[in-house]
Amino acid sequence: KMRWFFAFCVAVLVNAAPPHPHVVVVVIDDMGWANIGYHNPNNTRTPTMDALAKDGVIMDRHYTFFYCSPTRSSFLSGRLPLNVNQKNGPLAQPNSGIPVGMTLLSGKLTSAGYHTHQIGKWHCGMATDEHLPVMRGFNTSFGYLSGAEDHYTNLDSCGNCGKHTDLWRNHRPAYGENNTGYSAFAWTGEAVKIIERHNPERPLFMYVALQNMHAPNEVPERFKALFPPKYTSAYATYNGQGACADESITNITNALHSKDMWKDTLFVVFSDNGGPASTAVSGHMGNNWPLRGGKRTNWEGGVRTNAFVNGGDNVITQAMRGRTVEDYFHVCDWYATICHLAGVDPADNPPNLPGIDSINQWGVIEGTEKALRDEVPIMFLEREKTFQGSLIKGDYKIVFGLQDYASWEGPVYPNASGPIKPIPYDCGKGCLFNIQTDPTEHHDLAKEMPEKLKELQARVQYWKGEAYNPYRGKVQAKRMCRVMREKYGGFWGPYEKRWVPPAGP
């Protein structure tokens, strides 16, 4: 009996995740539900992601904000977007992005002994030095501060300052590293170099935020060439960006294997929002088939995103592999989940700022717990003269306010018919769907189930009252342009001294 007990304990220890696994998170920008092979195998070219997803754990109900910065702010801060940055104002606002008093995931992991690195898109604030990644818990940083730029030249425009270069390394502009080729290659190359130089005895956290598949729609010809002439050039370009992102993940995972770090690595991939599937949104070539809508809408196609985890056998056990998790998971939940694996307390309660909303969902991922999140508050925002948003409670979802578009795509989009022109759809005080039986949101139940609609409307009002909407400050455009020209030589970067919000409510 003692020998059996000892063998059982050894087996448990062998199958448990290591106390401080390496953590690599890759965010793909604007990837639609049908822009990945495991959802659309005949019309995409993402073999590495498909293999990792099928051999790992697919997060089938992974929810984000309906665009960019609020999702990234939520992931890094552990707050729901409504409690950190759901208005997505100009990044040059002095208090834009993630409030500096909040401890980011990178700061938590640094306190646990991790070496932490940020690569690629930041989009979480840049007006002051305090907003930079290296001031928010990252040991190193290489990327761009804004939401998008030219994939080749690193040029962007901000306000009335004209074209400028947006490329930053640690505390200063990345002089001499701009305009040197396709940006995804630069981000991937940086990630591979970090892995090659890393001491595996120290835990690694690497956050790689690719610009692919965000506008402008640009990709090297060899990726477009993966799609035969039956596809339009626009289709080949957009999905070529997905193929390029897949190659980035191939190179990063190969580097982890070569360094013998994969066995102790948790590898996470997700998209920041649904694909832009209408001319109402820049890029407008994403495909969320069979889901409704896309980026900048609250339909499932805008807020339910591709996501999966994989990793070495010391982290992802054989019992976990090949599973699909149907339970709700919000992007903010990665904060507490990763803190749990790192052995650090996720709590963060700075004065006058919201605490975390993140739930540790490792038990859900590994299959030992179910349904830790019954409610998913997605968005509650006064936008374009209407109150817009969505919320999930149990099997039901309410979508309210004016949605920019409400269409469905087919498995091949864009096609010869061209991009979808937006037809706004107004849900008023609420469209109601059972997203378990009707995930494509075809059947509005609002008139059939008035009591359920009232129940969700009450939850909407609750969360609306909870939303954190601080004064973000005023963009000092003249000063910003002068600093860009005279201090940074045409690069975009911090231009304000430490900003203190005005006193009062």
pLDDT digits over 193-227, tens only? Answer: 999 999 999 999 999 999 999 999 999 999 999 99
Q: How many CB atoms lie within 10 A of CB 138?
A: 26
Dist CA 503 CA 505 (whole Å)? 7
pLDDT digits over 426-440, tens only? Answer: 999 999 999 999 999
Dist CA 438 CA 434 (whole Å)? 6
Dist CA 91 CA 6 (whole Å)? 57
Name the 3-class secondary structure at 268: strand
Per DSSP, 127 falls in state S
Tell me how far apart the terminal alpha carbons of the chain are, to the nearest angstrom: 66
| Token duo for residue 362 | 């490792």
Cβ-contact 136, 107 below 8 angstroms: yes
Dist CA 192 CA 164 (whole Å)? 28
SS (H, E, C) 12-72: HHHHCCCCCCEEEEEEECCCCCCCCCCCCCCCCCCHHHHHHHHHCEEECCEECCCCHHHHH
Dist CA 336 CA 330 (whole Å)? 11
Give the start-end residues of each E strand in 137-273: 140-144, 155-157, 163-165, 168-169, 172-173, 204-209, 265-271
Q: Locate tokens 């999930």: which residue?
A: 392
| Token duo for residue 156 | 């962007």
Dist CA 15 CA 9 (whole Å)? 10
| Token duo for residue 190 | 């940086």
Strand partners, 119: 142, 208
In 3-state terms the chain splits into helix, strand, coil percentages (rounded to 5) of: 30, 20, 55
Q: Calculate the alpha carbon distances from 246 to 28, 51, 75, 180, 257 in Å.
A: 10, 11, 22, 21, 17
Q: How many CB atoms lie within 10 A of CB 352?
A: 9
The whole-number pLDDT of residue 127 equals 93
Q: How many CA atoms lie within 13 A of 202 on its CB side?
A: 15
Peptide bond into 213 cis (omega under 30): yes
Per DSSP, 305 falls in state E
Q: Locate tokens 């999140």: which residue?
A: 373
Report, as ranges of residue numbers, the positions in the chain whose pLDDT lies below 70: 1-18, 158-159, 499-505
pLDDT digits over 286-313, tens only? Answer: 999 999 999 999 999 999 999 999 999 9
